[in-house]
Amino acid sequence: MELGLSLGAADGGRPELVLGLGVGRGEEERGRREGGVVGARWWEAAASPEPSVRLSLVTSVGLRWPSENGRSAARARGFDVNRAPSVAAGDAPGMEEDEEGPAAPALSSSPNDSGGSFPLDLSAHGLRGPTDAAAQGGGGRSSSRASDDDEGASARKKLRLSKEQSAFLEESFKEHSTLNPKQKVALAKQLNLRPRQVEVWFQNRRARTKLKQTEVDCEYLKRCCETLTKENRRLHKELAELRALKTARPFYMHLPATTLSMCPSCERVASNPASASTLAPEAAATAPAPTTAAARTAVASPEHRPSSFAALFADPRSFPLATQPRPPPPPSNCL
DNA sequence: AGCTCTTGACAAGTTACCTCA
DNA sequence: GATGAGGTAACTTGTCAAGAG
């Protein structure tokens, strides 16, 4: 899914807002996979031609997109997930081997190592999760679809992760928002969790991040919209004043008839009546606006993206142009 | 090469459990 | 102690890509 909005055409300093919110996983996941590294960072996929959030403001409004909360350079710290953890290897009660098989030997080399280094070494703290007991009971799942074939009647138990586990996972998430299988298993061993639990935690964490980011984006776009609406109003006021000035003293009346190249009423260039591109910017601005929000968006955006952001602009105040009275029809002698 | 099927991973949405006021 | 809200672990479903046949 992709949401997009484009508002207004730039014309030499005119406000232009081009908003695109790529919510879909298409590009994101494609970028991740085509990178050949399972653990590639999703925010790197944002550099793809279809970023998850793209904003271009060519306006005097002076708004800037909030800076990315700078991904810190990979902090190399003493925990290589591709190496078997010193403590937990083999003695993690909840560990199943269906995810990786006998993982430890295979972990020593990492063909697709995406630089897996986790920040903390909780093994030094003798970390014991609160889930030990619960983890014993369940054989794990080998895939995310196998949720109903384990531990028979024992319904899902809500396991609260300890503070240390959460902090460790959080730090890991800062380094890699996605995990490759080896990282997952190593992390699970380190934390005495099942790999499935680590996987679920990362999925939920990504979802929370995205939700939070969406809220931030929405707030920001609302502010953009308000600011642009104000700016639009101001420009219209200015335009009305200029028009009033012009009708009071029509300068073209003093020009010879042969040099009169523009109809004073419709402002259409007489020599090329068929071309819409010959419309003066003001005339284009005062052209009848499409009635539906979707049509407005389609007109405004060359890419014709459907957009839920259109709702933000559904308020007629956001389309002052549409509320302008229709310009009088050109005189009959007008080309 | 093109097609179908399987598998694995993930996003999005939902459910259910736990904690706390 | 009961209760409702909020947080979140766990689950379900759908989609996509890669690989095998």
Q: What is the 3-state secondary structure (H, E, C) of A135-201?
A: HHHCCCCCCCCCCCCCCCCCCCCCCCCCHHHHHHHHHHHHHCCCCCHHHHHHHHHHHCCCHHHHHHH
Smallest CA–C1' separation from A159, nucleotide = C9
Q: How far apart are CA A202 and CA A200, in angstroms?
A: 5
Smallest CA–C1' separation from A211, nucleotide = B12
In whole angstroms, C3 C1' to A206 CA is 32
Helix-then-strand count for chain A, H and E = 10, 3
DSSP codes of every residue in A267-300: --BTT-TT-GGGS-HHHHHHSPPPSSHHHHHHHH
Q: How far apart are CA A163 and CA A156, in angstroms?
A: 21
Q: How far apart are CA A191 and CA A165, in angstroms?
A: 6
User: Rg of the Cα trace of chain A?
Assistant: 30
In whole angstroms, B6 C1' to A281 CA is 58
Contact, A160 CB vs strand C, < 7 Å: yes
Smallest CA–C1' separation from A146, nucleotide = C11
8 A C-beta contact, residue A17 and residue A8: yes
For nucleic chain B, which protein residues have CB less than 7 Å from any of its atoms? A 1, 23-25, 28-29, 32, 38, 42, 142-145, 155-158, 160, 178-179, 181, 199, 202-204, 206-207, 210
In whole angstroms, C5 C1' to A52 CA is 32
At A4, give phi and psi (nearest 5°).
Answer: -150, 160
Q: What residue has its CA nearest to the C1' of B17? A: A158
Smallest CA–C1' separation from A33, nucleotide = C17
Q: What residue has its CA nearest to the C1' of B8? A: A143
Position A270 scores a pLDDT of: 45
Contact, A202 CB vs strand C, < 7 Å: no
In whole angstroms, B12 C1' to A174 CA is 22
Position A230 scores a pLDDT of: 95
In whole angstroms, B19 C1' to A206 CA is 23
- Residue by residue, pLDDT tens for chain A (335 residues) are 333 433 333 333 333 334 444 333 333 444 344 333 333 333 333 333 333 333 333 333 334 443 333 333 333 333 333 333 333 333 333 333 344 333 333 333 333 333 334 444 444 444 444 344 333 333 333 333 444 444 433 556 667 888 889 999 999 998 888 988 888 999 998 898 999 999 999 999 999 999 988 888 888 888 999 999 999 999 999 999 999 998 876 655 555 554 444 554 555 544 443 333 333 433 333 333 333 333 333 333 333 333 334 434 443 333 333 333 433 333 333 33
Position A219 scores a pLDDT of: 85
In whole angstroms, B5 C1' to A178 CA is 27
Structural tokens at position A305: 């993206």
In whole angstroms, C13 C1' to A140 CA is 21
